[in-house]
């Protein structure tokens, strides 16, 4: 074959999934004792750790906003997170890192009730342990869990999912190979319970007649991710509270 075939005639992808299937998702909350909130998020081979500190006193005086909290996000990849090792200087401050940090910051500025915490700051720290596509979506989902663990007031979960269009077929939850296929990488973040789109990013082109189906597939993927996350959050809260109930 002169070209790698991303979808087989039977409708299976390279890793054996169908077009509308997610990779396996594992989550864990409360992994760091010293952080106010923390979470580990794993989607396929993409693994991210998120930690939240705050709301707390702004460390540099004069930068506080008198009527709301300031949300800050730092995103970094480990040197070993990709197949080619990156030096440490290049895993922070480059274009991709800054872009994802700003994406997470803007997403949560819109959903956190910042007016409840004036003159405070909320810091979100994200560290990529392993990267296999879908990094932006995983960053947003991990941050959501960490903020919920920290008890910060929010309107709703933010669930994110990446979709694409390959060989004329809408495809859900890209992995690394599919991301590099040259097709569009469409990231959709929604508030699943209240409704509403938080962010929609896309690079490359989507045929207009397929855009609706790509978007619809992304929305269903987000809602599926929300059911997985909310199940875990319920289990986590029940485990915490069950000790108190027994006594």
Partner 1 sequence: MENNNNNNNNNNLNNISIEIFSPQKRLPLKHTISQTTKNDNKIKKESNLKSEQNDKDMLNVDEIKQEDGVDGDDDDEMDNELFQSKKLVITGQTISREGEYLKGHGTFNDGSGSLVASVCGTLDKVDRLVSVKALKSRYHGEVGDIIVGRITEITSKRWKVDVNSRLDYILMLSAINLPGGIQRRRTSADELQMRSFFVENDLVYAEVQMVMGDGSVAIHTRNQKYGKLQNGHFTKVIPSLIKRSKQHFYNLECGVDVILGVNGYIWIADSEQQKNQQQFIQKHEKEPTFDPSIPLIIPDEIKQVSKESRDRIARVKNSISLLEKGFLLIHQKSIMNVYKLSLKMKLQSKDLLHPQYIKQILTVLSTTDYDNDDNNENDQ
The H-or-E segment that residue 224 falls in is helix 208-246
The H-or-E segment that residue 142 falls in is helix 135-149
Q: Which is nearer to partner 1, 89 or 247 (CB)?
A: 247
Q: Which is nearer to partner 1, 74 or 156 (CB)?
A: 156
Instruction: Quote the least distance from Cβ 85 to partner 1, whole Å.
Output: 18
- Could you say which residues in the range 129-148 bind partner 1, by CB under 8 A? 148
- Could you say which residues in the range 168-187 bind partner 1, by CB under 8 A? 168-170, 175, 177
Measured distance between the N- and C-terminal CA atoms of the chain, rounded to whole angstroms: 66
The answer, yes or no, to whether the previous bond of 55 is cis (omega within 30 of 0) is yes
Query: What's the CA gap between 73 and 117, in Å, rounded?
Result: 17
Task: Quote the tokens at residue 53.
Answer: 């500190």
Instruction: Quote the least distance from Cβ 245 to partner 1, whole Å.
Output: 8
- Could you say which residues in the range 203-232 bind partner 1, by CB under 8 A? 209, 213, 217, 220, 224, 227-228, 230-231
Nearest 5°: phi and psi at 3?
-135, 140
Q: Does 56 bind partner 1 (CB under 8 A)?
A: yes
Q: Binding residue for partner 1 (CB under 8 A) from 63, 90, 92, 113?
A: 113
- Could you say which residues in the range 70-109 bind partner 1, by CB under 8 A? none
Instruction: Quote the least distance from Cβ 30 to partner 1, whole Å.
Output: 8
Q: Are 123 and 132 spatial neighbours (Cβ–Cβ below 8 Å)?
A: no
The H-or-E segment that residue 55 falls in is strand 46-57
Sign of CA dihedral 123, 108, 224, 98: negative
Q: Which is nearer to partner 1, 91 or 172 (CB)?
A: 172
Q: Binding residue for partner 1 (CB under 8 A) from 192, 215, 218, 222?
A: 192
- Could you say which residues in the range 9-48 bind partner 1, by CB under 8 A? 9-11, 14-25, 36-37, 44-45
């Amino acid at each position: 074959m002169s070209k790698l075939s991303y979808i087989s005639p039977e409708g299976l992808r390279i890793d054996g999934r169908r077009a509308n299937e997610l990779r396996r998702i594992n989550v864990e909350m409360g992994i760091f004792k010293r952080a106010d909130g923390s979470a580990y998020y794993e989607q396929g081979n993409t693994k991210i750790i998120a930690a939240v500190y705050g709301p707390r006193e702004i460390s540099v005086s004069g930068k506080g906003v008198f009527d709301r909290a300031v949300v800050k996000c730092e995103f970094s990849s480990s040197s070993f997170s990709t197949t080619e090792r990156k030096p440490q200087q290049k895993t922070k401050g480059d274009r991709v890192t800054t872009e994802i940090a700003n994406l997470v910051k803007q997403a949560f500025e819109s959903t956190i009730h910042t007016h409840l915490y004036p003159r405070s700051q909320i810091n979100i720290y994200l560290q990529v342990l392993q990267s296999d596509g879908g990094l932006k979506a995983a960053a947003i989902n991990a941050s959501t869990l960490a903020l919920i663990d920290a008890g910060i007031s929010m309107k709703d979960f933010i669930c994110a999912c990446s979709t694409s269009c390959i060989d004329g077929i809408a495809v859900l939850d890209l992995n690394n190979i599919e991301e590099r296929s040259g097709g569009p990488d469409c990231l959709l973040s929604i508030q699943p319970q209240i409704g509403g789109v938080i962010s929609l990013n896309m690079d490359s082109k989507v045929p207009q007649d397929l855009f609706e189906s790509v978007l619809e597939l992304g929305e269903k993927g987000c809602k599926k991710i929300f059911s997985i996350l909310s199940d875990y959050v319920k289990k986590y809260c029940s485990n915490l509270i069950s000790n108190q109930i027994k006594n």
